[in-house]
Amino acid sequence: MPVRHRGVPVPRDPKTLGEHLKRRRVQLGQKQAETARILGISTVSLSRWELDKGFPSWDHQPAVIDYLGYDPFKDFGIKDPYSNETGFVAFLSAKEPAPIGHLLRRRRLELKLTVKACARKLGVDPKSIIIRPTA
């Protein structure tokens, strides 16, 4: 495994999804265009993922898992790529009753549904299930 590829360092111990993807692509001796075709994405998307400036949607995560041969997403925790909510949403402990909106969001994330897909399943307007922070 080369330490550098075209002048860019190749991570020995990848910690981010981008590092995992870059390392695997270099191991296979593929160009970004080949890897992007295999993953069913554009080369721009792959480049953004490798630079950790973007994150695959849940629709693309199974292809990434197949390509890498393992699941790198379990290390990152729940991340909703469709959400504009911050990553610092805190849920109340189970001892206190949680608001229904938080329970709905938690279940939606567990099922890996987008806001639109969840709303469609529930038969409601997507705007009605978006949780807005309170002051």
Instruction: Give the containing element (helix H, strand E) for 5.
Output: strand 4-5
Statement: residue 36 has pLDDT above 60 = yes
3-class DSSP state for residue 45?
helix
- The backbone torsions φ and ψ at residue 9, rounded to the nearest 5 degrees and listed phi first, read -65, 140
**59, 89: one domain:** no
User: Which 3 state secondary structure label does DSSP give 8?
Assistant: strand
67 shares a domain with 53: yes
* 9 strand-pairing partners: 4
Q: What is the pTM of this model?
A: 0.53
Cα separation, 13 vs 19, in Å, equals 8
- For residues 65 and 24, state if they share a domain: yes
Average pLDDT value over all residues in the chain: 77
One domain for residues 57 and 118:
no
* Residues 82 and 69 both lie in one domain: no
Residues 84 and 129 both lie in one domain: yes
More confident residue, 76 or 48: 48
Q: What one-character DSSP code corresponds to residue 4? A: E
- Least confident stretch, 34-38, 87-91, 116-120: 87-91
> Does 17 share its domain with 66?
yes
Q: Which domain holds residue 59?
A: 4-75
In a shared domain, residues 87 and 71: no
- What average pLDDT does this structure show over 11-22? 84
The 10s digit of each residue's pLDDT in 40-61 is 999 999 999 988 888 888 888 8
Q: Residues with Cβ < 8 Å from 123, sequence gap 6 or more?
A: none
CATH code, domain with 41: 1.10.260.40
Higher pLDDT, 75 or 31: 31
What mean pLDDT is predicted for residues 105-126? 85
How many domains in the chain?
2
Task: For residue range 84-111, list pLDDT tens digits in order.
Answer: 444 444 444 455 666 777 778 888 888 8
The Cβ of residue 131 has, within 10 Å, a number of other Cβ atoms equal to: 16
